Amino acid sequence: MGLDQTLYAYHGKNKKETDFTYKDEDSTEEIYYWRKHPNLEEYMAELYFDKGGKGSKNGFGGEPCFNCCRVELKLHDIEDLIETIEQDKLPEGGGFFHGNDSDEYYKEKTLEALTKAKSILNCPSFDGKRKNKRIYYTSWW
Distance CA 123, CA 130 (A): 8
pLDDT band at 133 (very low <50, low <70, confident <90, very high): confident
Lowest mean pLDDT among 2-16, 34-48, 59-73, 122-136: 122-136
Query: What is the structure's pLDDT at 43?
Result: 97
Band the pLDDT of 13: cuts 50, 70, 90.
confident
Burial of 20-33, coded b for 16+ CB within 10 Å and e otherwise, reads bebeeeebeeebbe
Task: Say whether pLDDT at 95 is over 80.
Answer: no
Expressed as residue numbers, the domain containing 41 is: 4-140
Residue 105 to residue 34: CA distance in whole angstroms: 11
Say how many domains are in the chain.
1
> What pLDDT is attached to residue 141?
83
**Sheet strands side by side (includes 4-11):** 29-35, 4-11, 133-140, 70-72
Confidence check: pLDDT of 80 > 80: yes
Q: Look up the pTM and report it.
A: 0.88
Q: What is the pLDDT of residue 41?
A: 95
